[in-house]
Amino acid sequence: MRVNPGDLKFTIPGWIVERWSKIAYLIINPNIKDIASRFKMEPSAKFHEAVAKYLNEYMYENKMPPEEIAPAILNMADDLMAGRQMQIRAGDYIMIQGFTRKG
């Protein structure tokens, strides 16, 4: 079963956004959850395409992903092959976002 970009479902822990917004903006505000909720968004289509491409190449063609994102792709492939919902760890997400932005 090949991975299609539109079929990818990720779990991004909510604390990532909340903590990031506190650190990045140094906001001291009792309503931080309201502010942080405005920053929540789904990964881009480009992100999904890259993940699907490298997951498929790794799982079905025995091709290693690019060295820059290999740990992230291998983590997700491990989740997928074990039948678990893929978890995006904060570092993995940042790694792949940086890679896709480079083009």
- 14 band by pLDDT with thresholds 50, 70 and 90: low
CA 28, CA 83: separation in Å to the nearest integer? 41
Please determine, for residue 15, whether its predicted confidence score (pLDDT) is greater than 70: no
- CA geometry: angle at 69 spanning 64 and 70, to 5°? 35
Q: What is the pLDDT of residue 11?
A: 59
Question: Is the separation of the CB atoms in 92 and 75 below 8 Å?
Answer: yes
The tally of CA atoms less than 13 A away on the side-chain side of residue 89 is 12
The dihedrals phi and psi of 68, each to the nearest 5 degrees, come to -65, -30
* 99 sits in which H/E element: helix 90-102
What is the C-alpha to C-alpha distance for residues 28 and 87, in angstroms, rounded to an integer?
Answer: 30
What's the rounded Cα separation, in Å, for the pair 21 and 94?
15
- Above 80 in pLDDT, residue 69? yes
Question: pLDDT-derived band of residue 23, with 50, 70 and 90 as boundaries?
Answer: low
pLDDT at 53: 93
pLDDT in tens, 25-67: 555 556 666 655 665 566 778 888 899 999 999 999 999 999 9
Provide the residue ranges of all domains of the chain, joining segments of one domain with +. Answer: 5-12+42-102
CA distance 26 to 65: 36
